[in-house]
Homo-oligomer: A and B are copies of this chain.
Amino acid sequence: MPKYHDALDAVLRALADPTRRAVVERLAKSPAVVSELAAPFSMALPSLMQHLRVLEDAGLITSEKHGRVRTMSLRPGALDVLHLWLGEQRTPAERQADRLGVHLTRTTPKET
């Protein structure tokens, strides 16, 4: 029953970390092998690997190993669950605006 929520939870937890988000951003461009993914970070390899595992467990990425090289890819549609949830959290006011096809200029958060 809580399939959807569990998936959403895993995805959000995974994306809550900057390193993992950076990996997702990189993989959005194209697949890459572990060492390529690790290169931009000052982190030890095992640490980065943990992040990759979290992403894979969340279903955000997939991997395939050929020889000693593992290639990681962003799972197409993996972010759909988030997109879906996001759509449900629109305030009544926003829904109204949607209906009218209005684009509101947002009141900015406080700081510029």
Contact = CB atoms under 8 A, between A and B. Distances in A.
Copies in the complex: 2
A111 to B, nearest CB: 8
A36 interface: no
A12 to B, nearest CB: 5
A18 interface: yes
A93 B75 CA distance: 11
Nearest to A87: B83
A8, A13, A80, A88, most chain B CB atoms within 10 A: A13
Contacts of A111: 3
Interface of A: 3, 5, 7-9, 12-13, 15-16, 18, 21, 24-25, 28-30, 59, 74-80, 82-83, 86, 88-94, 104, 106-107, 109-111
